[in-house]
Structure 1
């Protein structure tokens, strides 16, 4: 059985699927090859395999036309991704299975992927509407982290009987292996809060809240602050946004625009307080229940909206002027939210927490055996 794992976006995808690729490669009869679009992916795959203590797998860069290279240089990454998939369709058609971790790969069926079965290994926590989630229908098998996500897609009629399975969240297996590498500490010894705004323009709190939040943390003495936006926030702008943000760094404010720690749960595992908007990383943070604050400067009517379910797990702040008051009360008010955090975490990722990589690999093999 020849299996291709495709990494068609930034290296964060490695932390969701590399451990599954390794688990599959260890099963007799499975030959796994990995394809990547971003050169940095190689470094992350090497790091993950070293931490897991497993051998490297055959690894190939996606060949790219001059047009794809121009799109990459212009940071038109969504367009580049589609073009790269189309240009490599014949190569992928050589395999029995193609495994991806984002909905975009569903377009391969529309482009003419005929031979291989297409498998989606979902990442994220499922609370946010994604405009290409309809492509779930194109996958022959979808592996979901927990019952919450499976119920969501079944209720929307996106699954056919027998083509989804709950396996858990493989990223936790990777984190268990790499978590001792990076300990975050500040000279003053204070705990740190994590600000993790999303990149989606219609929902992100960053334009309105970033500056007052950083100023507010510099003026208090309870916490340090780590600012680690979603990596896709820096898709465009030719580095201008990164440089502007870096200027706000200080001894008690760490600004991260692209390190490994943004991708491997270093910050979400060690922060004392989470501040964000719609990023699913809040669920990774809640592996250990802790206080959360959600920023809603756009005053979105979020109550009873399933796409904002995680906003029931902490205080929601509409006015940026109220952020620091809410921060000061967060530890005291956490008791109000802890039971709901524990419940929703279990529904999102299932149990047991570890072992999802092996469960996903075995689910793929069973599916192919029954096909």
Structure 2
């Protein structure tokens, strides 16, 4: 849709119901943390005009398929952002993205004319800072559920609302230098994506039926076991007669490690190792939900894994004092080892250890992700309506009647 048609559509009654932009400019793993808010908003009475800005054909196809499946094609508009990139039809691998700040600059006029812009990554919060709060109010939804949420940088002060899944995540934001953060606890949005939109796939077939370990190394070196121990992990399982392995790294790891392809190459034909370096199955919890044992480090995906308590093992090759570092509080959910020589013992002990760790996992999941009552996206949508109403009142516009907010409050 071009600028002219967008402007005409915006002018037809926008003051009555408002308008909301959802920005899909980042990696594919952000889609599950953002799209369910848009679809929940589309289902509310007096729903605002909703525009989903997409940056690649892959984003576009995933989102269009979901919108059509939910019967919401008449309620939302999908718009190709300036800087849009094309990929082969049906591709679901992580695309090469244009620089996000450039995309924001190119699309700023179209974004800022909305009442609200909803995002799931913090780079976009530079836009309201530069615009000095002219135009759209920005709402940020935290992606992931690990304890590394950090809101100390200046850009984070320009979100009108910060949506957080659980009280533990909210406390990490306050502890990181934003004590007055405008936080709304809504629950873990990605749950709704898995439940309503994507589902999860099955595990890859292995030649031998054995317990399956999913190894999820983080992409940031300061929280990752990959650079110090990743190759040792692959070598260990290539020789294993007791376990299968799925290497399911954070989707950004292959991008930031120039040696990733050469590291995995010797193991691509190992019959008990499956390596996924960029498909959507790294996002839709196919591996997380299907594996028997979790092996990882700083990734928040262990919290998703622990929703259904199972053994978890954490790799600490740098021997960080994790008990005093809040970024690693999720390591309380399993055994922590610092040497590859200890992995066999940890794997052998895992089935019995889960009896001890299961209550810890359940409590941690609720603290970081919130309880799963099926209303997370609806609560987030109610916050969007509330911010639109506030903005309209400030500008003397017709107030938005947020009946949906009252309904969600009554049911929660």
TM-score (norm: length of structure 1): 0.89
Following superposition, the deviation at residue 366 of structure 1 comes to 2.4
Structure 1 Cα separation of the partners of residues 151 and 386 of structure 2: 31
3-state DSSP of counterpart to 2:113? coil
Question: Which of these residues, 312, 326, 331, is aligned with residue 332 of structure 2?
Answer: 312
Work out whether residues 48 and 174 of structure 1, in 8 Å CA contact, stay in contact via their aligned partners in 2: no
Structure 2 Cα separation of the partners of residues 178 and 194 of structure 1: 23
The structure-2 alpha-carbon separation of the partners of 1:129 and 1:367, relative to structure 1 and needing over 3 Å to count, comes to closer
Work out whether residues 322 and 328 of structure 2, in 8 Å CA contact, stay in contact via their aligned partners in 1: yes
1:2 maps to 19
Question: Which of these residues, 221, 241, 244, is aligned with residue 241 of structure 2?
Answer: 221
Following superposition, the deviation at residue 101 of structure 1 comes to 0.5
What is the RMSD of the two structures over their aligned residues, measured on CA atoms? Answer: 2.5
5 Å matches for 1:149-160?
A: 149-158=169-178, 160=180
Q: Deviations over 1:192-249 (max 9, x none)?
A: 11000000022211122222212222323332110011111122467x6336425412
3-state DSSP of counterpart to 2:213? strand
Following superposition, the deviation at residue 338 of structure 1 comes to 1.5
Larger Rg, first or second structure (1 or 2):
2
Question: Which of these residues, 18, 30, 35, is aligned with residue 48 of structure 2?
Answer: 30
2:127 maps to 108
The answer to whether the aligner puts 1:88 opposite 2:145 as a matched pair is no
The answer to whether the aligner puts 1:252 opposite 2:272 as a matched pair is yes
1:18 maps to 35
Question: Which of these residues, 200, 206, 209, is aligned with residue 229 of structure 2?
Answer: 209
Deviates more, 1:126-135 or 1:319-328: 126-135
3-state DSSP of counterpart to 1:290? coil
The structure-2 alpha-carbon separation of the partners of 1:262 and 1:47, relative to structure 1 and needing over 3 Å to count, comes to farther
Count how many residue pairs are aligned between Structure 1 and Structure 2.
Answer: 360
The answer to whether the aligner puts 1:338 opposite 2:358 as a matched pair is yes
Structure 1 Cα separation of the partners of residues 67 and 331 of structure 2: 35
Work out whether residues 199 and 284 of structure 2, in 8 Å CA contact, stay in contact via their aligned partners in 1: no
Work out whether residues 173 and 357 of structure 1, in 8 Å CA contact, stay in contact via their aligned partners in 2: yes
Structure 1 Cα separation of the partners of residues 383 and 277 of structure 2: 36
Question: Which of these residues, 276, 282, 285, is aligned with residue 296 of structure 2?
Answer: 276
Work out whether residues 23 and 54 of structure 2, in 8 Å CA contact, stay in contact via their aligned partners in 1: yes
2:15 maps to none
5 Å matches for 1:232-251?
A: 232-236=252-256, 241-242=260-261, 244-249=263-268, 250-251=270-271
Following superposition, the deviation at residue 37 of structure 1 comes to 2.5
Mark the runs of 5 or more structure 2 residues left unpaired by the alignment. 1-17, 86-94, 392-412
3-state DSSP of counterpart to 1:337? helix
Mark the runs of 5 or more structure 1 residues left unpaired by the alignment. 67-74
Structure 2 Cα separation of the partners of residues 36 and 268 of structure 1: 27
2:3 maps to none
